[in-house]
Structure 1
Amino acid sequence: MEKRALWTSCYFVRFVTLILCAPESGNLPQCKETDYYFEYTECDSTGSRWRVAIPHRQGSCSGLPEPVRGTDCTFSCEAGEFLEMSSQQCTSCVAGSYSLGSGVRFDQWDSIPAGFSSLATYMDSGGSGDDSMTCNNSSWTAQGTHLESNRDDCTVALVYAVHLMKQGSVSFDYQYVDSNIFFEFFIQNDQCQEMDQTGSEKWIKLTTNGEWGTHTVNLKSGTNILYWRTTGMLLGGKPVKPVLLKNIQIEGVAYTSECFPCRPGTFSKTPGSSSCDLCPRNNYSGKGASSCTPCSKTQYSQEGWSQCKERPPCSEKDYFQIHMACDSDGKTQILYRWVEPQVCMENVTGSVTLPPSGEKEDCPPCNPGFYMHNSSTCLPCRQGTYSDGTTECQRCPGGTEPSLGYEYKWWNILPRNMKTSCFNVGNSKCDEMNGWEVAGDHIRSGVGGSDNDYLILNLRVPGFKLPTSVDDASATEFSRITFIFETNCSTECELYFMIDVNRKSTNVVESWVGTKLRQAYTHIMTKNASVSYTWAFQRTNKASDVRQYVNDIAKIYSITVTNAMDGSASGCHACAMMSQRDGSSCVPCPAGHFINKDTNQCQECPSNTFLSGHHIYGQEACQPCGPGSKSNKEHSLCFNDCTFMYMELNQTLTYDLSALSSVGSIMNGPSFTSKGTKYYHQFNISLCGAEGRKVAVCTDNVTDLSSKDLQNESADLNNFVQTFVCQSTIIPADGRGFRTSLSSQSISLADTFLGECISLMVFNIHCRSEVLGSVRLLIVFEGSHL
């Protein structure tokens, strides 16, 4: 094995010592093959080594085999083989075992494997020594199918040392969903010096909930000390979601002298296997199995189980209801089905039976933008027409055009651009199940296979199309999605709303924990791109074979997306006409123009007014700029040119704020977490100038807080906000043992410039006088996070 290979020089010295110091006794029996084992010495400068015999017990026998020249130091067997040391030949693994040839794999996590260590680090000095204030109890923990990182604000490293005889690699699967925990992977040599790595190799990318990512890094020959390090930031008091780790595979070890037995719940049926397969459902296996054993009829197992369990009597938690699609008579019906795969037993004492099917009832109407076809199918209205879902599609009147989008509020079947799935980090029980089920006037979370399943609903939008009269170049809002939902839970369930733009990465926009009353949520898209909206519901994050929270539920009543490129229309809106003649077509208005209600033609907004959103019908769409500000050329926003004038006591007072035209930064603190970790809040500020552009940027990633590095690394930033005033949480390098400072939790504090004034009463804002003090000039912004 690899560990033995690391210390073969010691064995060789011991072997020579045994020969020199062995007692001269003719009473010792001749050594048999079971009395010793073979190892290689360390490689010399020419890449050569010797094979030596090492006795299991000193002085137990005589006549050990003589040392012989070994294989080349870079020699290794193919996957599915091991090096048989007596013959120094590669031999196929027997059925029930596997090998990677020149690699090792760790895929069983009932405990942390030998060779791994979990090290917690004190981040700041000056602690009281009280264990409750330190990180003594923080560590990576084994969860059977994977490892789980700490959930607190300590820094904990999982460490493994490996010696490679040739260049190799390390790869691992991970789940990393919470940006409030930093996850890094780095490598040191035997001098504890960190190897050169790019930022993408060292800092691990976030994954979506329920998704496993794979990270691979090349390794140099020699000693490599591997570190998986997590650092939590509990600034709001809410625990972070841990990092999950599994399937660690290292390539490049010199050789393996034995095959690994298949772990319980897996098998390999053919000799020379490089991996083991999971036992299918209702089968099990022990360690080193070449086949799986079926469970009895009264027992069951999930995929990859090492034993069977007794089937329980069926209960109300084992079935669910579904709405049938409309039939040719326009009728629907509620049916009941057993949760698949069915685990429970029906005809035993204490079991329940499926409820009878419900009475047939009228189907709900079609969703807006659709019409009923053949009393059973809803089809989208053709281009240029609209419907409210209860009538035939009609053409839009002259001077108007269809308002494209999605408006889903009836759920008899899942819309064509939506899909649903079920995923679990630790098992595949629900892979074939629907994550959500339609239920007439709402869609709701499905039963799933376990209480900690992620029940996923996805809506795909290929892009957006603004109304004809809106200028794309000056648009600040391309679409908005609004959905009405509620959750009803007996434990800390969580509903996530996520977004993936241009198929790059999925990010959590908002989440809700526990029971939430019926409410609406809106998210605005500020650029034209393909987008995937995802809802994921999880009843609990704690795995259990027993269903406790199957009745916890999430419901979505309606989903509305405006300006969807492939959407249908529920109504029409006014558009600008080329002329006032009948039959004239809609034309786009130039930037900063509204549609005159009298002529239906484009007209420029008055000076110092701006257009908000894409509602440009009527002059009232042009909204006045705030005090001390003026509109830009496109009438898309208002800004201040860093000067402000007002009259007081027959005098004109002028403020020159040109020194504030560039981006400024200020940092407060330091502050400390409950465990003494030091952090700062940095504010980047752009108060005026730049013709109203938001030029203050805050980033979530590794930076040294210098603008030069910020520019160089901008392509690799995971997340950033660009606004007038933003805030980032900064962890200094000396506070966490990092080479660079870390920036996280970036938020916008000033999204919209309202104006400059000498009294907040102008904006109907009341503020205590002691807060303002002697302030004479106020620059007022509106922020979503204030």
Structure 2
Amino acid sequence: MSLTTRQQDFKYSFTECDGDGRWRVSVPISPNTCVGGAPNAPIRVPKCYMSCDSGHFLNTSALSCYPCAPGSYSLGGGIRIESFNTSLPSGFHVTTSTINTSGTCTVYLICGVFVVMITKGWRVVSNYMESQSNATNDGCVSKMSYTVRVVKKGKLSFRYQYSIPDDLTNAILFTFQYHNYDDSDGDQGFDSTVNSKFPAATEQQKWKDIQIELSKPGLYVFVWRSVLIGRSRGYFPNTVGLRSSIFGGRSASHSDSGFIRIKNVFVDGVAFASECTACEPGTFSDTLGAEMCTPCPPNTAFPGRGATKCNDCDPRDKYSPKGSAYCLQKPICGRNDYYSIDSDCDLQRRRKRIDYKWIEPQICRDTNGVLPKWEYKECNDTTIADKLLDSCNLGQELTDDRKCRFCDDNHYRDETMDSCRSCPPSTSPAYALSYKVWHPLPEFMSTECVRMVEESEYECDSDISWQSYPDVKRYIRTGPSTQLGAYLFLTLSLPGFRKQNGGEITFKFEVECDAGDYCLFLFMESRRNAKLSQQTNIIKEWDHKSIGVQSYRYQIQQNISLSFSWIFQRNYSFQSNAKIYEITVTNPLVGSAIRCNPCPLSNVAYCITCPAGQYFETLESNRTEKMHEIESTRSRNRLASKVLQKCRQCPKSTVINASIAFPIGARNSCVECGVGLIDDRGVSCYSDCHLDIDGDSFDLSQVKQPFLHSGGRLFTASGTQYYHLFNITLCGRPDFRANCVNNITAIESAGDNADATAEEYGIRSMICRSTIIPDREQTFATQSVSLGDQLIGITRATTYQNITVHEEFQTTNSDIHFYYSTRVPTAACPAGRRLTLTLRCAPQLERNLSIATPTACPDGTCDGCTFHLLVKTKTAAAC
């Protein structure tokens, strides 16, 4: 039996806009349950779309905006999508297609650790969307689209990670596109470049924010597109199969795959919210009209929705990180939860007192009295280890206000001095950054904590990722209270170096990995503010098997702005930790001198250095007929032995060893150029394009340089091409190089200029390679990488300096082989990338030049590290 109409049986809804407004009408909540008509007549609303401010909702009865009650929030005219945990949110769609006739690309979802359906393309992982390149299939084009109507000027923002694999046999291209279909001026579709952006690659495990201004109302479609280019059609054997995904507690650096991750999508400028949203578990709102909820402070939690405050955890045995829904059981205290404090050495008794303190904040529970009591140990005040480091690092002095400052130019401080002093005559300052005192955190260093898979929205605390203590300054260590599985970053940022060939970095460290835990310690180099594919390089990796105090030295090959990061990850035990005792960097633009080196040649007031490409000729190297003159001069001048020294040019086809600060004597200072190369005034080796091999002469200038080679084409479902372009130089002076330019339209970070147009980044090298994306109006070049910074030899030998020509190109003995190398190692290529170019005489050619790659490696490489090209010519360059 139907009931008589009541107010509570109806709800308000709005009709479609009819040009100048729409109607608010009453509709039954449950159909066929009420009779007698609607209790209220329709009301005309003059606006097609209404919107409320943040923290408010539209009361459809009063047609007015009201503030949200405590325990709830509202974005007003905004939509925030923070969770992809179960399925795609409303408005999101994923489509995946293949460009290979024999392959398939299906869509799959991963919820938590459970695989729902196996696919290639965008997938749900934890609280973000991910598209990952694949080592065995390529040509998959996957689109994730989001459709929403914007009713006023607004913005779109999202967070992303974009990692390009070191393995160059794989690639993943990332584009972001958006289009307003109601814009009368916007007649371009998604195949145009009007609203197409190419987000820059991000640093290891770090998220980047993107913000786009939406200047006009309308129906917007946003598309995140990934194009996977991998070892297609079985071209490339999986020679780097040991490298695995970062998931499952395995190596972060050893990954065959690049990936794209999207989370925290926010759109501002949409229609009203008809009700406020209850605060999520682990958050609260205690004010009226909240725009968003606040995460629960540490050691508090709230498991349900709609909290106005969070509950305290029981301090006896419970704790919680920020933003927790539940309190966690405190782990049992261990050796990683306290530190020792050494007193000064008592010289009379030859002992010192050792005290112990808890590391703050303390999250463990001491159930077994693990904190040691104070004790005495024998000491010897003559050893540096027994001295308290309570002042400043080398190259710095303590000011009157108890702060450390770097010494002035031409001044230094070593471990024997309390303050800076000027370098004495006949010496030269040795500039370096030397860190042995770790509290407070030294200048140019920063810390960060990055969670691999975030169970909640809130980041881990960077303030406790790496910690030092006022009482113990001789090391910095990872904090015991950071979340398991998080990456703990300690980063040193340098603007450049004082020498063209960079400098050297050495550090001493220790990894303590608890039994049963899996730990990872990485040393990483990054180009600061670079948007190139080789932005980040994992230099060295240590795992849980690395024990004891160790030292590592790395030669910096380039004078550019760099950042170095030390990254630690533990997965199962809070007791695992890493310590860094010392870091020293030579020749940085920042810092000051830590010592003064004696000069090989001096005029007493300052050092005299030889011109580039020259060395000091010492008395020992030129004794002969001038011995009598030398002895006579010595009797008149005690500095004669230095006055008589001269600067000499390195012998022909040799160059100065750039790693020597003061080269003395030809034997120790000059190194031979590679076979087939000559020297450029003793500074660098190169080919002048005139080559003599086994009595035959060749003129390499007959080949116009630089010249290009295009790899095989790949096509997306919409017809867009992707291919690799090699830019090649055979010979010429050292400053004559190929140039690979990135002209991508990069999206700026939130807070920067969101309307910025094309920015150009590129690299100059003997041989480089770019990924080319031709489009209707413009050709895009991206992911440029050097394959040969320097030419190291030209010979008929098929192996040179451990580089071997591909077997397909070893068919004739008359070929000329060019060997190139890069100076920067990567995790995938510890020796750097290398390239062989085989030049072959081919009189039958119709053109002057023909370029090919091995049939077994059609993209030029079989392993991503060594590349091979065959260049045929009918010119005198090889004939």
TM-score when scaled to structure 2?
0.68
Report SS of the residue matched to 1:432.
Answer: helix
Report deviation, 1:571: 4.5
Corresponding residue for residue 599 of structure 2 = 574
Report SS of the residue matched to 1:34.
Answer: helix
Contact 1:164 1:224 in 2 (8 A): yes
Does residue 62 of the first structure (1) align with residue 26 of the second (2)? no
Contact 2:744 2:758 in 1 (8 A): no
Corresponding residue for residue 48 of structure 1 = 21
Does residue 456 of the first structure (1) align with residue 476 of the second (2)? no
Corresponding residue for residue 495 of structure 1 = 522
Which moved further from structure 2: 65-74 or 494-503?
494-503
Give me the CA root mean square deviation. Answer: 4.6
Contact 2:94 2:107 in 1 (8 A): no
Decide whether aligned partners of structure 1 residues 437 and 78 sit closer, same or farther in structure 2, where only a CA change above 3 A counts: closer
Does residue 631 of the first structure (1) align with residue 685 of the second (2)? no
Alignment partners' CA distance in 2, 1:527 and 1:91: 59
Contact 2:506 2:551 in 1 (8 A): no
Decide whether aligned partners of structure 1 residues 683 and 585 sit closer, same or farther in structure 2, where only a CA change above 3 A counts: same
Decide whether aligned partners of structure 1 residues 128 and 418 sit closer, same or farther in structure 2, where only a CA change above 3 A counts: closer
| Equivalent residue letter for 1:570 | R
How many correspondences in the alignment? Answer: 704
Corresponding residue for residue 37 of structure 1 = 11
| Equivalent residue letter for 1:79 | S
Alignment partners' CA distance in 1, 2:369 and 2:120: 46
Alignment partners' CA distance in 2, 1:206 and 1:131: 26
Report deviation, 1:32: 2.3
Corresponding residue for residue 124 of structure 2 = 141
| Equivalent residue letter for 2:759 | A
Q: Deviations over 1:357-388 (max 9, x none)?
A: 454556526799569999x9999777656676
Report SS of the residue matched to 1:692.
Answer: coil
Decide whether aligned partners of structure 1 residues 81 and 158 sit closer, same or farther in structure 2, where only a CA change above 3 A counts: same
Corresponding residue for residue 291 of structure 1 = 309
Alignment partners' CA distance in 2, 1:273 and 1:377: 43
Alignment partners' CA distance in 2, 1:147 and 1:29: 47
1:575-654 aligned at under 5 Å gives the runs 576-577=601-602, 579=603, 583-587=604-608, 589-598=610-619, 599-600=644-645, 602-605=647-650, 608-613=653-658, 615=660, 616-620=662-666, 621-632=669-680, 635-645=682-692, 648=695, 653-654=696-697
Alignment partners' CA distance in 2, 1:624 and 1:416: 41
Corresponding residue for residue 201 of structure 2 = 206
Alignment partners' CA distance in 2, 1:249 and 1:131: 28
Contact 2:742 2:780 in 1 (8 A): no
Report deviation, 1:162: 0.7
Alignment partners' CA distance in 1, 2:149 and 2:486: 39
1:454-533 aligned at under 5 Å gives the runs 454-461=487-494, 463-466=496-499, 476-483=500-507, 490-491=517-518, 493-501=520-528, 507-511=535-539, 512=541, 514-515=543-544, 518=550, 520-527=552-559, 529=561, 531-533=562-564
Decide whether aligned partners of structure 1 residues 206 and 168 sit closer, same or farther in structure 2, where only a CA change above 3 A counts: same
| Equivalent residue letter for 2:278 | P
Corresponding residue for residue 537 of structure 1 = 568
Report deviation, 1:435: 1.4
Report SS of the residue matched to 1:193.
Answer: coil
Alignment partners' CA distance in 2, 1:82 and 1:378: 54
| Equivalent residue letter for 2:655 | F
Does residue 185 of the first structure (1) align with residue 176 of the second (2)? yes
Decide whether aligned partners of structure 1 residues 699 and 630 sit closer, same or farther in structure 2, where only a CA change above 3 A counts: same
Report deviation, 1:275: 1.3
Q: Deviations over 1:194-231 (max 9, x none)?
A: 286668x7222333345432211123422212223345
Q: Deviations over 1:60-85 (max 9, x none)?
A: 23231222211412432222221111
Decide whether aligned partners of structure 1 residues 171 and 429 sit closer, same or farther in structure 2, where only a CA change above 3 A counts: closer
Alignment partners' CA distance in 1, 2:414 and 2:144: 58
Q: Deviations over 1:268-314 (max 9, x none)?
A: 212211111112123233212222233345543332222334x3462
Report SS of the residue matched to 1:149.
Answer: strand
Alignment partners' CA distance in 2, 1:124 and 1:249: 32
Which moved further from structure 2: 227-236 or 556-565?
227-236
Report SS of the residue matched to 2:51.
Answer: coil
Corresponding residue for residue 228 of structure 1 = 224
Report SS of the residue matched to 2:35.
Answer: coil
Contact 1:167 1:252 in 2 (8 A): yes
Report deviation, 1:437: 5.4
Alignment partners' CA distance in 2, 1:223 and 1:342: 52
Does residue 158 of the first structure (1) align with residue 144 of the second (2)? yes
Contact 2:504 2:586 in 1 (8 A): yes
Corresponding residue for residue 114 of structure 2 = none
Report SS of the residue matched to 1:314.
Answer: coil
Alignment partners' CA distance in 2, 1:314 and 1:763: 55
Decide whether aligned partners of structure 1 residues 775 and 514 sit closer, same or farther in structure 2, where only a CA change above 3 A counts: farther
Which of 690, 701, 706 aligns to 1:658? It is 701
Alignment partners' CA distance in 2, 1:575 and 1:390: 24
Contact 1:401 1:575 in 2 (8 A): no
Contact 2:131 2:261 in 1 (8 A): no
Contact 2:296 2:323 in 1 (8 A): yes
Which of 49, 53, 60 aligns to 1:78? It is 53
Alignment partners' CA distance in 2, 1:231 and 1:336: 56
Alignment partners' CA distance in 2, 1:571 and 1:536: 33
Which of 818, 832, 846 aligns to 1:779? It is 818
| Equivalent residue letter for 1:537 | F
Alignment partners' CA distance in 1, 2:597 and 2:557: 21
RCO (CA 8 Å, sep 6+): is it higher in 1 or 2?
2
Report deviation, 1:405: 1.1
Alignment partners' CA distance in 1, 2:495 and 2:798: 44
Unmatched segments (≥5 aa) in structure 1: 1-26, 467-475, 541-547, 704-711
Corresponding residue for residue 75 of structure 2 = 100
Which of 232, 244, 264 aligns to 1:247? It is 264
Q: Deviations over 1:314-353 (max 9, x none)?
A: 2427x43435476597998765554544344335xxx553
Alignment partners' CA distance in 2, 1:68 and 1:411: 73
Report deviation, 1:686: 0.6
Which of 560, 564, 578 aligns to 2:584? It is 560
| Equivalent residue letter for 1:695 | R
Contact 1:324 1:332 in 2 (8 A): no
Alignment partners' CA distance in 1, 2:104 and 2:176: 29
Does residue 692 of the first structure (1) align with residue 734 of the second (2)? yes
Alignment partners' CA distance in 2, 1:484 and 1:193: 56
Alignment partners' CA distance in 1, 2:512 and 2:15: 66
Report deviation, 1:138: 5.1
Report SS of the residue matched to 2:658.
Answer: coil
Contact 1:496 1:508 in 2 (8 A): no
Decide whether aligned partners of structure 1 residues 118 and 484 sit closer, same or farther in structure 2, where only a CA change above 3 A counts: farther
Alignment partners' CA distance in 2, 1:454 and 1:661: 49
Which of 208, 216, 219 aligns to 2:211? It is 216
Report deviation, 1:575: 5.7
Report SS of the residue matched to 1:455.
Answer: strand
Decide whether aligned partners of structure 1 residues 76 and 387 sit closer, same or farther in structure 2, where only a CA change above 3 A counts: closer
Decide whether aligned partners of structure 1 residues 212 and 335 sit closer, same or farther in structure 2, where only a CA change above 3 A counts: farther
1:275-286 aligned at under 5 Å gives the runs 275-285=292-302, 286=304
Report SS of the residue matched to 1:172.
Answer: strand
Corresponding residue for residue 764 of structure 2 = 722
